[in-house]
Amino acid sequence: MRTIDGLGSTEMLHIFVAETPANMRAGATGRPIPGFEAKVVDDAGHDCPTGTVGHLAVRGPTGVRYLDNPERQAAYAKAGWNHTGDSYMVGEDGYFRYAARTDDMIISAGYNISGPEVEAILLTHPAVSECAVIGAPDPDWGQIVKAFVVLRHPDAATPETRKALQDHVKAEIAPYKYPRAVEFVAELPKTQTGKVQRFQLRKEEEAK
């Protein structure tokens, strides 16, 4: 038995992107299942070129209308398409590949950067216990990649460690994705179930 990836949502009441075990591809969620359509669009709702990260939009026999929440309705359903809040790209092979939740996507100097991707690299460094990566407002770049890091040994919170973490990211993924700001913290804001609340970090940065 093989575990397969698939994407669905409460609003759509169904999985809409998946793949059969025989046709799975590493790093891909899959393709739209029969009866559903999916595409990747930009902020204006236009189709993104192949290989470009954008917003995932889907439609099919199921969907949702927020009858008593016009604001939520306007954000989720646009021109007959349901916007899931996920950032995706479609490859030349037609397979959909996940980038991040839309809120966790960082746009810095025109580059789309996945916060979770940077987090995954930082967590491979032996000095890092936990981390969260967000886009922090910046007058020149629009946003910069900022990492909040909980160290295994708090006394290692030095400029040397900060540079080591930045160099570590540069060595593992595209250098433009490295965190230009690294803040050492004692703990990260979390829900009662232990999920990191990145939106709290974003609010704090926006208030500065």
Per-residue pLDDT tens over the stretch 198-208: 999 999 999 88
pLDDT value of position 144: 96
**Residue 66's pLDDT band (boundaries 50, 70, 90)?**
low
| Lowest model confidence (mean pLDDT) among 71-80, 97-106, 149-158, 170-179 | 71-80
Indicate whether 118 and 191 sit together in one domain. yes
Q: 26 pLDDT exceeds 80?
A: yes
Last residue of a domain, one of 100, 119, 144: 100
Domain count, the chain: 2
Segment 59-73 shows an average pLDDT of 74
Say if residue 192 is in the same domain as residue 155.
yes
Cβ neighbors of 90 (< 8 A, separation 6 or more) are 39, 40, 48, 50, 51, 96, 97
CATH number at residue 156: 3.30.300.30
Is 166 within the bounds of a domain? Answer: yes
Q: In the prediction, which pLDDT does 67 show?
A: 62
Per the structure, the complete domain to which residue 130 belongs is given by 109-206
Tokens of 56: 């995932």
**Whole-prediction pTM value?**
0.72
